[in-house]
């Protein structure tokens, strides 16, 4: 593969850091046991948040975190999660296994999590079973200062200063479990709810409307036509599957055909973004409204012996391929896609981290995000994905360095890449690879270090040209100084 940046520099676009956002829902062990262990736990923690997980996630420079759902958001009533934890209302989590939710992790705990991670908040509010007043009160509780009933209540609960809410989602999957609404009806509901998202702080809250179910292009048309002027972003959900929704494959035990099937499903993201962008362009040619892919990732059958509703699955080299390919797709469409949130951060679906009591491991997907963090806020030089190619890539520049990330999803074939830059380059300052000989290589609690980043020595710089040899089933990131 030859890439000539001098002849075809591409459209200069800044890659939003929010493209590498995360998602954490009250689902299985995503919150409880994964992030939150409580202040009295024997597991080392700071204010109830387990230190090993926080320290690992901080290395990813997590830009934004979506909470409390997901499906859970449309049954979440925020007042249940404030005040004395011992007196908080216990509820049944009907979406995820009928388990008891004690609400010990609520608004204050979430913003403490954001503080420790150094990340921004994406709050998904309850439209399905909530009210406009409930949402308006929550916004006031979180962001108002001065003399206000909600601000005073927040202070009584231990936090006098307001928090910053960067993003606010109004409903989740309202076409399905979030209300089974028609797009015409939800457009009106959205217009009503967003009216009462009042601005209390210095910066306005970025409002996100619930977007289509995968390829429901009519939903996008109707929402943009009827509510486009009232939104900042429109969401999109798409999960990579090996087969039909009701026949999801195994996370570890898979065939070569299932490898290819999953990657083809992941690459469908390119098509979906393009087609929904075409519809958005009809009503918003200036690209004022962003596309927000706030749920994406691999979805398999739950791990044997675990609660089926907890969506706990292992994470192999194949998932790393999905992650890198998808991040390259987001970078390719950075003119329209402003934020994305992989599902989910810990112990649920395609996670960064898995835990078992006091043990913790990092997944192959974690290492992809670790390499790709260099692209956050960088200037895109080129980004490529094609359904017919095994290689996708992102090339960007930031802080006097060129950043090259490649993903080769072929099971058997190595590939060579030649990149011609407009000017001579300097020294290689970073070169790492994620690669294993076995397609289902993964880390376990018995062997947590099997899959790790390794030094990459198959890169050469000659003047303004870079040569890379990409092994099969590999993700590579290289940083090179500009002269």
What residues act catalytically?
173, 295
CB 96 within 8 A of CB 310: yes
Closest Cα to residue 19, out of 269, 318, 314, 197? 269
What count of other Cβ atoms lies within 10 Å of the Cβ of residue 133?
9
**Would you call 154 exposed, middle or buried from its count of C-beta atoms within 10 A (0-12, 13-18, 19+)?**
buried
| 248 vs 84: CA distance, rounded Å | 41
Q: What does the radius of gyration of the chain's CA atoms come to, in whole angstroms?
A: 22
- Beta strands 391-398 and 474-482 are unpaired
Mutual orientation of helices 317-332 and 256-283 as an angle, nearest 10°?
A: 20
| 86 vs 11: CA distance, rounded Å | 55
Which own/partner pairs from 35-38 qualify as long-range (CB within 8 Å, at least 24 positions apart)?
A: 35/105, 35/113, 35/345, 35/346, 36/104, 36/105, 36/109, 38/104
CB 380 within 8 A of CB 19: no
- CA diameter of the chain: 67
Distance set, CA 329 to CA 158, 173, 208, 272, 274 (Å): 43, 23, 21, 11, 10
| 79 vs 463: CA distance, rounded Å | 61
């Amino acid at each position: 593969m030859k890439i000539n940046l001098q002849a075809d520099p591409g459209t200069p676009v800044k890659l939003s850091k929010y493209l590498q956002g995360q998602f954490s829902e009250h689902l299985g062990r995503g919150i409880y046991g994964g992030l939150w262990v409580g202040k009295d736990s024997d597991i080392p923690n700071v204010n109830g948040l387990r230190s090993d997980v926080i320290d690992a996630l901080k290395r990813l420079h997590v830009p934004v975190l979506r909470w409390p759902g997901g499906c859970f958001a449309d049954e979440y009533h925020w007042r249940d999660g404030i005040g004395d934890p011992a007196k908080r209302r216990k509820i049944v989590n009907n979406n995820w296994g009928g388990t008891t939710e004690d609400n010990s992790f609520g608004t204050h705990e979430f913003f403490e999590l954001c503080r420790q991670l150094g990340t921004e908040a994406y709050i998904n509010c309850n439209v399905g079973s909530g009210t406009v007043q409930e949402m308006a009160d929550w916004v006031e509780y979180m962001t108002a200062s001065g003399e206000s009933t909600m601000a005073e209540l927040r202070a009584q609960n231990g936090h006098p200063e307001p928090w910053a809410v960067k993003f606010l989602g109004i409903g989740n999957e309202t076409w399905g479990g979030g209300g089974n609404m028609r797009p015409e009806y939800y457009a009106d509901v959205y217009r009503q709810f967003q009216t009462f998202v009042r601005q209390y702080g210095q910066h306005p809250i970025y409002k996100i409307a619930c977007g289509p179910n995968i390829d429901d292009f009519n939903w996008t048309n109707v929402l943009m036509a009827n509510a486009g002027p009232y939104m900042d972003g429109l969401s999109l959900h798409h999960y990579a599957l090996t087969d039909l929704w009701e026949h999801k494959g195994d996370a570890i035990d898979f065939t070569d055909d299932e490898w290819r099937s999953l990657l083809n499903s992941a690459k469908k993201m390119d098509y979906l973004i393009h087609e929904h962008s075409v519809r958005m362009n009809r009503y918003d040619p200036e690209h004022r409204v962003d596309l927000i892919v706030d749920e994406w990732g691999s979805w398999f059958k739950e791990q044997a012996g675990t609660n089926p509703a907890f969506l706990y699955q292992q994470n192999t080299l194949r998932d790393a391929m999905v992650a890198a390919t998808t991040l390259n797709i987001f970078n390719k469409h950075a003119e329209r896609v402003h934020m994305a949130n992989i599902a989910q951060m810990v112990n649920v679906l395609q996670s960064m981290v898995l835990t078992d009591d006091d043990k913790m491991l990092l997944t192959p997907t974690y290492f992809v995000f670790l390499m790709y963090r260099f692209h956050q806020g960088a200037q895109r030089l080129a980004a490529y994905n094609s359904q017919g190619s095994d290689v996708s890539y992102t090339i960007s520049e930031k802080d006097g360095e060129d950043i090259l990330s490649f993903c080769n999803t072929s099971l058997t074939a190595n590939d060579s890449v030649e990149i011609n830059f407009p000017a001579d380059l300097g020294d290689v300052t970073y070169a790492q690879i994620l690669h294993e000989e076995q397609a289902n290589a993964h880390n376990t609690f018995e062997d947590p270090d099997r899959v790790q980043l390794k030094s990459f020595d198959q890169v050469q710089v000659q003047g303004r040209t870079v040569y890379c040899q990409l092994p099969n089933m590999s993700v590579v990131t290289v940083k090179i100084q500009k002269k």
